[in-house]
Copies of this chain bind each other. A is one copy, B any other.
Amino acid sequence: MEPVVYTRPVYYYETDRMDCVHHSNYVRWFEESRVHLMDVLGFPFVQLEAAGLVSPVLEVQAQYKTMAHFGETVLVETAIESYTGTRIVFTYTVRDRDTGTLRCQGHTAHCFLNDHGRPVSLKKALPAYHTAILAAMGPEN
- CB neighbors of B among A58-73 (8 A): 58-64, 67, 70-71
Instruction: Give complex CA distance A28, B57 in Å.
Output: 16
User: In the complex, which residues of chain B have a beta carbon less than 8 angstroms from the beta carbon of A61?
Assistant: 59-62
Copy number in the complex reads 4
A residues 11-31 touching B (CB-CB < 8 Å): 11-13, 15-20, 22-25, 27-28, 31
With an 8 Å Cβ cutoff, the count of chain A residues facing the other chain is: 35
Contact B64 A58 (CB under 8 A): yes
Residues of B within 8 A of A63 (CB): 58-59
Do most interface residues of chain A lie in helix, strand or loop, or is the interface mixed? mixed
Minimal Cβ-Cβ distance residue in B for A21: B17
| In the complex, chain A residues 81-109 whose Cβ is within 8 Å of any chain B Cβ | none
State A124–B76 Cα separation when bound (angstroms): 38
Contact B62 A59 (CB under 8 A): yes
B18 & A16 in contact (Cβ 8 Å cutoff) = no
A129: shortest Cβ distance to chain B, in Å?
15
Does A64 lie within 8 Å of B57, measured CB to CB? yes
Known: A31-B13, A31-B24, A45-B12. A64 touches B70 (CB 8 A): no
Q: Which of B20, B23, B44 contacts A60 (CB 8 A)?
A: B23
Q: Are A17 and B12 in contact (CB under 8 A)?
A: yes
Q: How far is the CB of A109 from chain B (nearest CB, A)?
A: 9
